[in-house]
A = this chain, B = another copy of it.
Amino acid sequence: MRLSELSTESGVPIATIKFYLREGLLEPGAPVTARQSDYDDSHLRRLRLVRAMQQIGGMSIDQVRNVLFAAGESTLSRHERLGVAQYMLPPLVEAPTDDPLWDQTHGEVLALMTELGWLINDFSPSLNALTRSIVALRRLGYRDGIEHVRRYAAAMHPLAEGEYRFIDGHRDLDEAIEATVAYTVLYEPILLAVRRLAHEDVSARLHNRRPISPLDGV
């Protein structure tokens, strides 16, 4: 298809597509004439993925580029490339220097991983994300952070197994990387929305009525 059709199909303006091409976020189409190229479904998919990372994942262009480039690094094994794709997705949380509560909590998080028997790198970015939230909860006076992680771990691991097998089941590495990103960026909001809806349902049941009534201005 032509650039204009790619734009219509994807809903992405032509100027934006040209920007992605210049930035290397989208592979060039096959040249047809000196001024025209031909695009196929792989371009359409990539375009939708980039848009999803930006609009749903809230990622900057730089973050999108980093994920796509790292995942495309051909000196790494398939396994490593899938790992890098996940590691580069936000949030990337830096450990503070000189915060004893952080250090203690981070140690407890690592100890929990060992206890669970999970094969996790010490430098996995998610460990810092976990630590940051638990530290913030502790500073607010909520003490059950680690216990809660244990409950989430028990609920999430069986699901993660199915998800990862689906991702890894893609023969084509580019498709597997796309699936990694899609399954992270797009299933995360789904998981959170389901959790909020579950809270709403529990609230409605506990208060023995339908949930909050239509409110003006909300």
* Interface residues in A144-200 (C-beta closer than 8 Å to B): 145, 148-149, 151-153, 155-165, 168, 178-179, 182, 184, 186-200
Contacts of A156 on B, CB cut-off 8 Å? 155, 191, 194-195, 198
Closest CB-CB distance, A160 to chain B, in whole Å?
4
* Contacting pair A188 B184 (CB below 8 A): no
* A134 in the interface (beta carbon within 8 A): yes
Contacts of A118 on B, CB cut-off 8 Å? 197-198, 200-201
Q: How far is the CA of A129 from the CA of B126 in the complex (A)?
A: 23
* Contacting pair B141 A203 (CB below 8 A): no
* Contacting pair A124 B48 (CB below 8 A): no
Copies of this chain per assembly: 2
* A61 in the interface (beta carbon within 8 A): no
Q: How far is the CA of A113 from the CA of B211 in the complex (A)?
A: 14
Q: How far is the CA of A212 from the CA of B158 in the complex (A)?
A: 21
Contacts of A134 on B, CB cut-off 8 Å? 190
* Contacting pair B190 A145 (CB below 8 A): yes
Q: How far is the CA of A176 from the CA of B118 in the complex (A)?
A: 34
Taking a contact as CB atoms closer than 8 A, the residue among B56, B151, B184, B193 that contacts A159 in the complex is B151
A interface with B by C-beta (< 8 Å): 45, 48-49, 51-52, 56, 58, 70, 76, 79-80, 82-84, 86-88, 91, 113, 118-121, 123-124, 126-127, 129-130, 132-134, 136-137, 139-142, 145, 148-149, 151-153, 155-165, 168, 178-179, 182, 184, 186-207, 209-215, 218
